[in-house]
Structure 1
Amino acid sequence: MAHGGSLGELRAANLALVIAIIEQAGSLSRADLMRRTGLSRSTVSSLVVQLIEQGVLVERLDRGTPYKGRSGRPPILLELATLTGVVAGIDVGHRHVRVALARPDSTIVLERSVILDVDDSPRESMDRVATLLDELLAESGHQREDVRGSGLGIPGPVDSDGRMTSGILPTWRGLRPADELAERTGLVARVHNDAHLGARGELAYGAARGHRDVIYVKASTGVGAGLIVDGHLVTGTTGIAGELGHVQVDVNGVMCRCGSRGCLETEVSGPKLVALLQPAYDERLTVPRVLELAQAGDAGATRALNDFGRRIGRVLANIANMLNPEQVVVGGGFGSAPALQAGVRDALDRYAQPATAAAITVLGGALGERAEVMGAIAVALDPPDAPRSGRQVSRSPVAG
């Protein structure tokens, strides 16, 4: 049962709980809902009546089977009505903007991305988001009024009030991305940093689907993490949990862009990887080229990625000892490299408690560069004010 403040808030949470449970199960009877929610018969009946009147639930024409084979008349089953409209998933990266439209069942309608210098152009980036969104809506035959929800990912810390914090993106500091989007489009978005949405994407649609305790690592321009505990994304008191790249690993290290000294990100990042290897190569290196070299068996690229994985894994070992996860999913620009994943695995085996390390599977993300936009779709599809019910709704994306 959900717990809240006012009776109105409690009812809203219980309505969202009923919707989420039926969405996960496909169809359920009123008695099933009582068993799964712990709510009373009268409360379930009242909630169901309201949802049927609102057109959210419908009663199936065919009936179910009695509970545990009991005799008697089969119960009437409830299911979600066919929903219309779309949701918007928006991924604002350091060097790109990606927007996707999806149906309420998470089927992708249209998706598009553009290259853009996001770090130094916050308002221009939000202008581009609005333009892309309008283009996709027009192409798909939808209006802004058809957008049922939206999720927005930003490559920097976003506090619980929706404000950009810290000096990681100085030109964005103090901005409220949701307000910026609403001003341009009228849409109200749920905002998270990119690593949080990467975690949600892999949990709902990717490598972490079906798992409940996961650490997602995004290794790209910087290093971030999304923490999944008991099937839920943990954002922390101020919304910035998972800043893996800003764990101090060298008290006498170089200054980090966040203002601290010796952060993991000063040693492990996409630019650092290229700078480390460039003197040994005649060609101009990029992160994708380093990954190609490693895949072809190049010793230098493989060694560098493995070392980076070990440094990430050393920090992860402490977090793993605290959270005891079942998976570490590595994504981002260079997280897909097997050599990096092997380094993470080696460090976990060496530094985490033996039983903790043995319980962890280390693997690459299944969604690649689309993890964040799929995470944005996942949060856009979350029920409003969804309670912590202990259940994670997963949906399968289908290209369409």
Structure 2
Amino acid sequence: MAGLNDIREVNRLRLLEELRRAGVADRSELARQTGLSRATVATLVADFVARGAIVEESERNGAPGRPSNRLRLDPSAATVLGVDFGHRHVRVALADLSATVIAERRIDLDVDAGSKTALDTTAELAATLMAEAGVGGDRVLGAGMGIPAPIDRRSGRMPSASILANWEPIRPAEELAHRLGLPVRVANDADLGALGESTYGAGRGFSDLLYVKLSAGFGAGMILRGALHTGATGIAGEIGHLGVDPLGVICRCGNRGCLETVASGYGLRHVLAPTHGPGLTTARLLALADAGDTTVLAALQRAGTMVGAVLGALCTALNPAAIMIGGDLGAGSAPLRDAIRAELRRTALPPTGDVVLHAATLGDRAEVLGAITLALDETEWLRSADLVAVARQWTRA
């Protein structure tokens, strides 16, 4: 009997996932796309309509006769959590099934200092948002989580102990899942920025794009053929750790002269420390550039040229249609973007350099919106051991 119940729950989730993907559909379309019989679809739909998870609407298509009955998910039937860890902040958002944010909060936090405090604080923030929105735990399907470090998707661990060095050798998704009591998916923050911009921001309409996050650190996310590309082990996009200066400073990854050491907020502050002091912030750096500070502008020009050369090589290799420059430094500095654009077009093999390049539009919310997208992507859950657990959350009476 337990096996039969599991099959029923799998069928329920399959139908719900197809309806979430399609947006609206009728019963015959759901049967065709899911492979379920019409009788099974009719039974499942009737159950979900009674529970309030599916809404049925009549729609006339201009033809005579009875109107067709269209089905859609009730966005308020369930929710997901999006979590974005920066090096100095954590942002948590609660969203419904249409990705509309219901509640959101960001706090400053030294995430680099250690995982326990960061994860505990995140769980507390999630509980606060759920309480404020009046959402019980049985209405939260799961969470998407972004961290500013590479993630090996085979092990769920961070392969480099030097990035987020004070985090213990843990599996971040498992640790947060334990605290939340929910399934959690994790990705690199730049990957989630790419998801956010391609779904809700400046990248909409592009099936092949790069999202470059220039902030305290440096990374990139890639959308190829409409899907997030993370490579064989999940580490694709770590272009901040490509070597560009053999005589440069030692990077936090342990190598010398990485792109991050000259083109990230951290790297630029280090370069400018002799002339502008060790307390230079990114906001102050951008203000000085706007005021015409020649030393700052020269540093931005050099950084942009190096970034542009790397992106030119990527354009030649991947031929994306667009590049979104995000992060507080990248989106905030027109001189930096101008230098990137000029060098990219100089070095990329024509016509791959004729790529749309402009500032990302979602600001510091790109990553948390990408985390929501990750959490709503039930397709991967369909293939996971969490399948039945997720289905039971949907169908709990």
- Interval containing the TM-score (normalised by the shorter chain): 0.7 to 0.9
Q: Is the 8 A contact 2:114 2:168 kept in 1?
A: no
Distance 1:11 1:305, change over 3 A: farther
Shift of the 45–83 alpha-carbon distance from structure 1 to 2, 3 Å rule, reads farther
Matched, 1:133 2:130: no
2:18 corresponds to? 18
Cα 1:11/1:349, change in 2 over 3 Å:
farther
The whole-number CA distance in structure 2 between the counterparts of 1:383 and 1:108 is 18
**8 Å contact 1:16–1:385 — kept in the other structure?**
no
Classify the secondary structure of the residue corresponding to 1:195.
helix
Aligned to 2:57: 60
Residue 150 (str. 1) matches residue 147 (str. 2): no
Instruction: State the one-letter code of the partner of 2:337.
Output: Q
Offset of residue 322 of structure 1: 1.5
Equivalent residue, structure 2, for 1:104: 97
* Structure 2 residue corresponding to 1:354, chosen from 347, 350, 353: 350
Question: What is the aligned partner in structure 2 of residue 335 from structure 1?
Answer: 330
After the TM superposition, which residues 18-37 of structure 1 pair with which residues of structure 2 at under 5 Å, given as runs?
Answer: 18-23=18-23, 27-29=24-26
Contact 2:309–2:347 at 8 Å: present in 1 too? Answer: yes
What is the match of residue 234 of structure 1?
229
The answer to whether the 8 Å contact 1:33/1:44 transfers is: no
Identity, % of aligned pairs?
A: 44
Residue 256 of structure 2 aligns to a residue in which SS?
coil
Q: How does 1:128-207 map to 2 (within 5 A)?
A: 128-160=121-153, 161-167=155-161, 168-172=163-167, 174-207=169-202
How far did residue 98 of structure 1 move?
A: 1.1
CA deviations 1:46-89 (Å, max 9, x no partner) are 674365145154442334356xxxx8766443322454232211
Of the structure 1 ranges 8-17 and 201-210, higher mean CA displacement relative to structure 2 is found in 8-17
Deviates more, 1:268-277 or 1:125-134: 268-277
Deviation digits for residues 139-182 of structure 1 (CA, Å, limit 9, x no counterpart): 22223333222111111011113212213222225211112112
Displacement after TM superposition at 1:334 (Å)? 0.3
Three-state SS of the structure 1 residue aligned to 2:270 is: helix
Question: Aligned letter for 1:166?
Answer: S
Q: Return the alpha-carbon distance in structure 1 between the equivalents of residues 83 and 76 of structure 2.
A: 21
Report the Cα offset of residue 310 of structure 1: 1.5
One-letter code of the match for 1:136? L
| Aligned counterpart, 2:280 | 285
Q: How large is the RMSD of aligned CA atoms in angstroms?
A: 2.9
The one-letter amino acid of 1:64's match is N
Give the number of the structure whose residues are more often helix, by fraction: 2
Distance in 2 between residues matched to 1:216 and 1:51, nearest whole Å: 40
C-alpha separation between the residues in 2 aligned to 1:250 and 1:266?
9
**How far is 1:123 from its partner?**
0.8
CA distance in 2, matches of 1:272, 1:93: 17
Task: State how far apart, in whole Å, the 1-side matches of 2:212 and 2:28 are.
Answer: 41
Q: Does 1:314 align with 2:309?
A: yes
Alignment CA distance shift 1:64-1:385 (3 Å): farther
**1:273 to 2:268 alignment:** yes
Cα separation, 1, equivalents of 2:339 and 2:260: 16
Identify which range, 184-193 or 76-85, moves more after superposition.
Answer: 76-85
Is 1:211 aligned with 2:206? yes
Structure-2 separation of matches of 1:139 and 1:371: 23
Q: Could you list the per-position Cα deviations for residues 369-394 of structure 1 after superposition, in whole angstroms to 9, with x for gaps in the alignment? A: 11111111111122242789xxxxxx
Report the AA paired with residue 19 of structure 1.
L
Q: Which moved more, 1:372-381 or 1:172-181?
A: 172-181
Q: State how 1:115-126 maps to structure 2 within 5 Å.
A: 115-126=108-119
Aligned position for 1:299: 294
| 2:237 maps to 1:245 | no
The amino acid across from 1:315 in the alignment is: V
CA shift for structure 1 position 255 = 2.8
**Shift of the alpha carbon at 1:128?**
0.8
* Counterparts of 1:47 and 1:159, CA distance in 2: 39
Give the corresponding residue for 2:370.
Answer: 375
Question: Cα gap change, 1:272/1:373 in structure 2, threshold over 3 Å: closer, same or farther?
Answer: same
For each residue in 1:319-348, what CA deviation from the matched residue of structure 2 results, as whole angstroms up to 9, or x when unmatched?
111111111101112001111111111111
Contact 2:150–2:159 (CA<8 Å) still a contact in 1? Answer: yes
1:368 Cα deviation after fit: 1.0
Call closer, same or farther: CA 1:312–1:183 in 2, change over 3 Å: same
Structure 2 residue aligned with 1:225, among 220, 229, 234?
A: 220
Amino acid of the structure 1 residue aligned with 2:340: V
Q: Secondary structure at 1:356's aligned position in 2?
A: coil
Whether the 8 Å contact between 1:22 and 1:80 is mirrored in structure 2 is: no
**Is this contact kept in 2: 1:98–1:113, CA < 8 A?**
yes
What residue ranges of structure 1 are gaps of 5+ in the alignment?
Answer: 1-6, 389-400
Q: Which moved more, 1:297-306 or 1:101-110?
A: 297-306
